[in-house]
Amino acid sequence: MAKIEQIAQSFLGQIQANPGQKYDICRRAAYTFMGLAQDPKNVRAMQQLAEVGHIFARAASNTRPPVMDDFADQYLAGRTPIPCVKCNMGVKFTDLFTLARELGADCLATGHYVRRVIGAEGPELHRGVDPARDQSYFLFATSRDQLDYLRFPLGGMDKGAVRALAGEIGLSVAFKPDSQDICFVPDGDYAAVVRKLRPEADTAGEIVHVDGRVLGQHRGLIHFTVGQRKGLEIGGQAEPLYVVRLEPERRRVIAGPRAALAVTSARLSDINWLGGPIQAPIQAKVRSMAKPVPARLDGDTLLFGTPELGVAPGQAAVLYDGERVLGGGWIEETA
Name, of 84-98, 176-190, 214-228, the range with top average pLDDT. 214-228
Q: What CATH number belongs to 262-334?
A: 2.40.30.10
| Rounded CA separation 194/234 (Å) | 24
Where do the CATH 2.40.30.10 domains begin and end in the chain? 262-334
Where do the CATH 2.30.30.280 domains begin and end in the chain? 203-259
pTM for the whole thing?
Answer: 0.84
Q: What CATH number belongs to 203-259?
A: 2.30.30.280
**More confident position, 287 or 65:** 287
Helix (H, G, I), strand (E, B) or coil at 224: coil
Contact between 144 and 122 (Cβ < 8 Å): yes
Residue 245 host element (H or E): strand 242-247
Architecture, CATH, for domain 2-175: 3-Layer(aba) Sandwich (3.40)
Where do the CATH 3.40.50.620 domains begin and end in the chain? 2-175
What integer pLDDT is reported at residue 28 of this predicted model? Answer: 54
Nearest C-alpha neighbor of 298 from the set 267, 325, 326: 267
pLDDT tens readout for residues 222-240: 999 999 999 898 888 889 9
Residues 6 or more apart whose CB falls under 8 angstroms from that of 191 comprise 201, 202, 220, 222, 223
Task: Reply yes or no: is the peptide bond before residue 281 cis, omega within 30 of 0.
Answer: yes
Mean pLDDT of 191-215: 92
DSSP letters spanning 285-325 = E-STTSPPEEEEEETTEEEEEEEES---BTBEEEEEETTEE
Q: Say yes or no to pLDDT of 22 above 60.
A: no
pLDDT tens readout for residues 82-139: 988 888 787 778 778 888 888 888 888 888 999 999 999 899 999 999 999 999 999 9
Q: In sequence order, what are the beta bridge partners of 115? A: 126
Report the catalytic residues.
Answer: 87, 183
**pLDDT, averaged across the chain:** 83
What integer pLDDT is reported at residue 307 of this predicted model? Answer: 97
